[in-house]
Amino acid sequence: MTETAVVLLSHRSRLAEILRVLARYGLAGILDEGAFDAMIADRPRTPMAFLADWLTAKVDLDVAQMTPGERICAALSELGTTWVKLGQMLSVRPDIVGPTIAAALATLQSGVPPDDPDVSLARVEEALGGPVGDRFASYSTVAFASGSVAQVHEAVLTDGTAVMVKVVHEGAVERSREDLEIMHALARQGEQDDPGLARYRPTQLIAEFDTMLTRALDLRGEAQNLRLFGRLFAAEPDLVLPAPIDSLSGAQILTMTRIDGLHMSDRASVEAAGWDVDALVRRATELYLDMIFRYGIFHADPHPGNFLLPGQGRLAILDFGDVGRLSPTRRDQLEELVVAIGGHDLDTLVDAVVEMTNPTPGTDLKELRSAVSAWADQYLLAAVGSLDLSEIVSTAMSLMHDHHLSLPADLALLFRVLTQLQGMGAELGITLNIEELLAPYLTQSVQERLSPRRLARRALRSAHRWSAFLDGLPDDLTALLDGVREGKVSIDLNVHDVDHVADRLVDAGIAAASILASAQLVSRSTGPTVAGVSVPGLLAAGVGALTWRRLAVQRRRRRPLSAKVRDAVSVARAR
């Protein structure tokens, strides 16, 4: 029995529920080969397609008239938190699901009803190890807000400090773990059975989603994020962040200081808080660009509800459960992309995009480069400052979708953040100039890339990679040869070398290496020695001499190819 079958059988009750929901919305066939590509092809549906769905999938006529995106949204909402979170993640991945379905998934709501007050209170007291009356001067059992993972309650500490208490929903961890195991199993099977689906690397996608959701369900990660961002931006007096109360926090509960202020709902609310609208949008964008380019970690959900204006020219950012991280390699790629855009360097830009997207085997790289060049020339290398960032990102995602490429999850999240920031400015009547805002970081990137410290660090990183590659090479070759012997791997290698040039090159290399090694060993008197002469050095010299002798014999026996040609020509003339 396969690993996939074992997993699915162990969760057969939940799997049956999932399949019933998919069937109800005519989506059960998405697991068939080729169905994924057909669904995201964004082709108009004909009346016969509606009828076929109704007859074959036995869905309601109302469901048969829904678009694929509407069906998926309805099914995910019915399946619960884990599936809604997956849909929200895919809503920023039009490179995978296509622009139409991505737009539909963007309408998914993350809010869910809060747990019963008694249930929530019991969870808080269990996490705190005692009654809330021993920890708080007051505690509201009515949820202030409720999301897909947790709900929030208002409270006051015994010293009078106003706080918010965030607690994970009852059963959320257990339900998500079961759903994630099913998702992993289905992704493995789908990647194995459907070449069209395999191009989008579903196993990698679900692994990334697993990491994201697991972090969201452990509130210690959010507390750590709050402490980290608090340190990074401690010198920014106009930025206010919640501070975690470690003694009242844990895996399933997070207590943090409360921040009061006005929401950025419109221009009037911004101006009422003492901010100039243009200055506020620019300041928020500068903070996010600092997070991205200076620190490589950024708040990943900059919608208006996560910003508050506490007054006195200050800006507060809330909810650090969703944070994006850029590895040193990714930051180098991103800097290369920014430098290429700033320098209008089309070739470097195309190379950077191809490297980031990591095309699958079989991709027509010539056609891909041509498409990327045309896109970049239209959207990035002309009048950059006047362009709509959302249009740049959406057209790039469509291009990748058309060529079966997928953007790394961290970059997809980053581009969503930048798009949201521009959208926030547009809602307040402000147009962000991309080129102007990126200019300081462009200059800084160029300087840092050419600095001796940066060059040394990159050289050291490359050396480490080569070292890791060489360390693992024997095991990799052993595994490859084992696969060949067992018939699991076949290698077709044809070398046409009638004059045995390769053999002579190898012999020459062995001879030269042996002579050099002998010289080093003898000069250093490497032991053991006989009469002061290195024995390993003598052996190396012997190998070199024998190999050189073999070369000399081969040269006498084998005439050069040019001589053979001349002989053939002479014979032909004689005839």
Angle at which helices 172-193 and 12-24 cross, to 10°: 70
- 466-499 confidence digits (pLDDT tens): 677 667 767 777 777 777 677 666 555 555 454 5
Separation in Å, CA 11 to CA 6, 177, 190, 218, 366: 9, 11, 18, 23, 45
Q: How many angstroms separate the CA atoms of 406 and 357, rounded?
A: 6
Sequence-distant (≥ 6) Cβ neighbours of residue 273 within 8 angstroms: 261, 262, 309, 310, 311
User: Which residue did the predictor score with more confidence, 58 or 380?
Assistant: 380
Identity of the residue numbered 342 = G
Rounded distance between C-alpha atoms, residue 249 and residue 226, angstroms: 12
Q: Domain 112-181+201-258 falls in which CATH fold?
A: Phosphorylase Kinase; domain 1 (3.30.200)
In this predicted structure, what is the pLDDT of residue 168? Answer: 94
- In angstroms, the CA 8 to CA 15 distance is 7
Angle between helices 12-24 and 3-10 (to 10 degrees): 90
Helix axes 68-79, 12-24, angle to 10 degrees: 150
Q: And the tokens for 312? A: 């006195």
Which of these, 36, 51, 45, lies nearest to 67 by C-alpha position?
Answer: 45
Query: Can you give the residue ranges of every domain in the chain?
Result: 3-110, 112-181+201-258, 269-450, 501-574
pTM: 0.69
The residues that bridge with 297 in the sheet, in sequence order, are 325
Q: What is the DSSP letter of 52?
A: H
d(CA 547, CA 554): 11
Instruction: Kindly report, residue by residue over 155-176, the tens digit of the pLDDT.
Output: 999 999 999 999 999 998 999 9
Tell me what the pLDDT averaged over the chain comes to: 78
> In the sheet that 314-317 helps form, which strands lie side by side, from edge to edge?
239-240, 314-317, 307-311, 262-263
User: How high is the pLDDT of residue 503?
Assistant: 58
First to last CA, the chain: 73
Q: How many alpha carbons lie under 13 Å from residue 34 in its C-beta half-sphere?
A: 0
pLDDT tens across 329-374, in order? 888 888 787 777 767 777 887 788 878 877 777 778 788 888 888 8
Q: Give residue 388's pLDDT.
A: 67
- 375 contact partners, CB below 8 Å, separation of at least 6: 395, 396, 399
**Which residues touch 97 (CB under 8 Å, ≥6 apart)?**
40, 90, 105
| Structure confidence at residue 500 as a pLDDT band (50, 70, 90) | low
CB 315 within 8 A of CB 239: yes
Helix (H, G, I), strand (E, B) or coil at 524: coil
Answer whether 88's CB lies under 8 Å from 105's CB: yes
Chain center to CA of 186: 20
Query: What local confidence, expressed as pLDDT, does residue 92 receive?
Result: 77
| Res. 385 pLDDT band, cuts 50 70 90 | very low
| Rounded average pLDDT over 404-410 | 80
> Per-residue confidence at 457, pLDDT binned at 50, 70, 90?
low
